[in-house]
Amino acid sequence: MLEYVTDAADPRLADYVSLRDVELRKSLEAERGLFLAEGEKVIRRAVGAGYPVRSVLTTQRWLAALADVLGDSLVYVVSDAVMSGIAGFPVHRGALASMERLPLPPVERVAAAASRLVVLEDLVDHANIGAIFRCAAALGVGGVVLSPRCADPLYRRAVKVSMGAVFSIPYARMDDWYNGLAGLRAQGYELLALTPDQAAVPLDEVVMGERVALLLGSEGDGLSSRWLHESRPVCIPMSPQAMAAGVDSLNVVAAAAIACHGLMRRAG
Amino acid sequence: MLEYVTDAADPRLADYVSLRDVELRKSLEAERGLFLAEGEKVIRRAVGAGYPVRSVLTTQRWLAALADVLGDSLVYVVSDAVMSGIAGFPVHRGALASMERLPLPPVERVAAAASRLVVLEDLVDHANIGAIFRCAAALGVGGVVLSPRCADPLYRRAVKVSMGAVFSIPYARMDDWYNGLAGLRAQGYELLALTPDQAAVPLDEVVMGERVALLLGSEGDGLSSRWLHESRPVCIPMSPQAMAAGVDSLNVVAAAAIACHGLMRRAG
């Protein structure tokens, strides 16, 4: 169903307000139970993954590309000028969709269905979250578990950077940070904590059991001492010359990519 | 030498204008032969790597942290308000330095001194360039070679994302894209072209000689057919389920991280 809207302030576009204000969007999306998918490809994947469409916002020019996926969804069609006015940035391939969130499964269910997990503690950067989901999905990790305070994989930028991988890999969020790892251990997971500390065992030398959970810490501080203490520290060996020159760590996405690749190479 | 400046438009601050205008900065920096280092750590590494300081722009508050590295450099001290007015974004740890560029070495010299090279064809995203330099340095790659049109590793954002790794790993830029690879081959490099094409040889199965150059293509289109044709395609194996779900590639930083790690694991 098409509705033509000519005013960026039209109340029908309330799902799309303040797109550059991360804090406001976080509370707005939580309250209304929605998230935004940007661009035809990502919208298509969100729909394919079963998320109900609340509405789509696009311009006449991009309507045709989306026609087959929209069904009888509510579609707001606006001019390029109104689109720019609403978004405040160039919208990827001219379309945004407001999608309904679905209840997340419990951690136990995601863990039960997988043999390789990535567990993210308190990451704050949505682009990093998206990139790690993309790596984990592409490299055959079976699920992602988030600490209670880890940033939201369905935030627009995370969804976009993941190229929709947030829809294809199951994930869950822990209720309890302090005791969160005990449950995974009880389900038979060996917990490997990735650390830049070169005194840890190199990941490539770890003999891996049937179930492995790879723990990744936040961008600034890495893993908490609580989680490090609960798990086995592993490292990615770095060049001694680079360490001496002060290049003493990898960013979390690069480390996650190498580690997920390591898990896959040695899958049972 | 300290100079207190009270006006964001003061001509003495000409090196620091239009910091959010990438196109303007590119031509301005090329014309004046400068680049910007942001934050105490990165400035320190740039100075340590031998780049001469043209000037430093900071606030009273951050002066002390830089005191030992500044020597008799020209330092412009401004208020927080002027700093915000100049930058238009929160400057990392309150300091920017305008540094003189040094002449790049020829490709042959960088290649001669290394046994593992990363070769970047036409990457456009400065954050990706910076992240790849950080990976390459941390994982013991001996040098980076850029195609003629590849984005500038000394652009502020690349320098920042690299955490200064652009200063610790030697790099050079080809003059000639079409015949650029022939020179590397003549120096004994085996050319491995990283591609998402799963029909290529998995990188982990390649028997590597003494000298290996890993070719990475641009964010959108990957490597040109010319370069693919000149080299041996290799891939990072991905999960068949993910491929079926449309997660059919890794981003270039994740791929570079995995591949550089692969090179290091099997260094001679």
Q: Which of B247, B256, B258 sits opposite A163 (nearest CB)?
A: B247
DSSP-derived pairing of the beta strands B201-202 and B143-146: unpaired
A113-167: pLDDT as tens digits: 999 999 999 999 999 999 999 999 999 999 999 999 999 999 999 999 999 999 9
Pairing of strands A232-235, A190-194: parallel
Q: Does A254 touch chain B (CB under 8 A)?
A: yes
pLDDT tens track for A165-175: 999 999 999 99
Closest CA to A18 of A9, A5, A31: A9
The pair of structure tokens assigned to A101 is: 């969130």
Contacts of A43 in chain B (CB under 8 A): none
CB distance A265–B204 less than 8 Å?
yes
Region A86-91: mean pLDDT is 80
- Rounded Cα distance, A91 and B24, in Å: 23
User: Parallel, antiparallel, or unpaired: how do β-strands B75-78 and B2-4 relate?
Assistant: parallel
Interface contact flag, B140 A204, Cβ < 8 Å: no
CA distance A32 to A15: 9
Element (H, E) at B252: helix B252-265
Q: What is the location of CATH 3.30.1330.30 in chain A? A: 2-100
Report the gap between the CA of A229 and the closest CA in chain B (Å). Answer: 26
In this structure, the number of other CB atoms found within 10 A of the CB of residue B49 comes to 14
Cβ neighbours of A236 in B, within 8 Å: 261
Tell me if residue B17 falls in helix, strand or coil.
coil
- Measured between CA atoms, how close is A150 to chain B, in angstroms? 21
- Whether chain A has a CB inside 8 Å of the CB on B158: the answer is no
Residues of A with Cβ-Cβ distance to B168 under 8 angstroms: 242, 245-247
Predicted ipTM? 0.90
Secondary structure element (H or E) that encloses residue B100, with its range: strand B95-100
Each residue's pLDDT expressed in tens, for chain B with a length of 268 residues? 899 999 999 999 999 998 888 999 999 998 899 999 999 999 999 999 999 999 999 999 999 888 888 888 999 999 999 998 888 777 777 899 999 999 999 999 999 999 999 999 999 999 999 999 999 999 999 999 999 999 999 999 999 999 999 999 999 999 999 999 999 999 999 999 999 999 999 999 998 889 999 999 998 889 999 999 999 999 999 998 888 877 788 999 999 999 999 988 776 4
Tokens of B146: 């850029």
Which of B164, B236, B237 is facing A246, going by the closest CB pair? B164
3-state secondary structure of B56: strand
CA of B202 vs chain A CAs: smallest distance (Å): 11
Rounded to the nearest integer, the mean pLDDT of chain A is 93
Q: Does A202 touch chain B (CB under 8 A)?
A: no
Of the partner residues A138, A247, A250, the one whose CB lies closest to the CB of residue B257: A250
B136 near A CB under 8 A: no
Which sign does the torsion angle of CA B60, B66, B69, B75 carry? negative
A245: left (phi over 0), alpha (psi -120 to 50) or beta: alpha
Chain A residue numbers touching B255 (CB-CB < 8 A): 257
Give the tokens for residue B56. Answer: 């430093």
A95-100 and A75-78 strand pairing = unpaired
- Token pair belonging to B64: 């002390």
Residue A224 forms beta bridges with which residues?
A: none
The CATH code of the domain at B2-100 is 3.30.1330.30
Residue B89 in contact with residue B121, Cβ under 8 Å? no
Q: Which residues of chain A have a CB within 8 Å of the CB of B140?
A: 238-239, 241-242
Annotate chain A with three-state secondary structure.
Answer: CEEECCCCCCHHHHHHCCCCCHHHHHHHHHHHCEEEEECHHHHHHHHHCCCCEEEEEEEHHHHHHHHHHHCCCCEEEECHHHHHHHHCCCCHHHEEEEEECCCCCCHHHHHHCCCEEEEECCCCCHHHHHHHHHHHHHCCCCEEEECCCCCCCCCHHHHHHCCCHHHHCCEEECCCCCCHHHHHHHCCCEEEEECCCCCCEEHHHCCCCCCEEEEECECCCECCHHHHHCCEEEECCCCHHHHHCCCCCCCHHHHHHHHHHHHHHCCC
Supply the pLDDT for residue B226.
96
Which residue in chain A is spatially nearest to B44 when comparing CA positions? A246
- Partners of A96 in the β-ladder: A38, A57
For every residue of B59-86, DSSP letters joined together read: EHHHHHHHHHHHTT--EEEE-HHHHHHH
Q: Which amino acid is at A71?
A: G
Residue B96 near residue B105, CB atoms below 8 Å: no
State how far the Cα of A2 lies from the Cα of A73, in Å rounded to an integer: 8
pLDDT tens digits, residue range B114-143? 999 999 999 999 999 999 999 999 999 999
The yes or no reply on domain B107-265 and CATH 3.40.50.720 is no
**Type of residue numbered A73:** S
* Domain limits, CATH 3.40.1280.10, in chain B: 107-265
Nearest to A254 among B131, B238, B249 (CB): B131
On whether any CB of chain B is under 8 Å from the CB of A163, the answer is yes
Q: Cα B52 vs. chain centroid, distance in angstroms?
A: 19
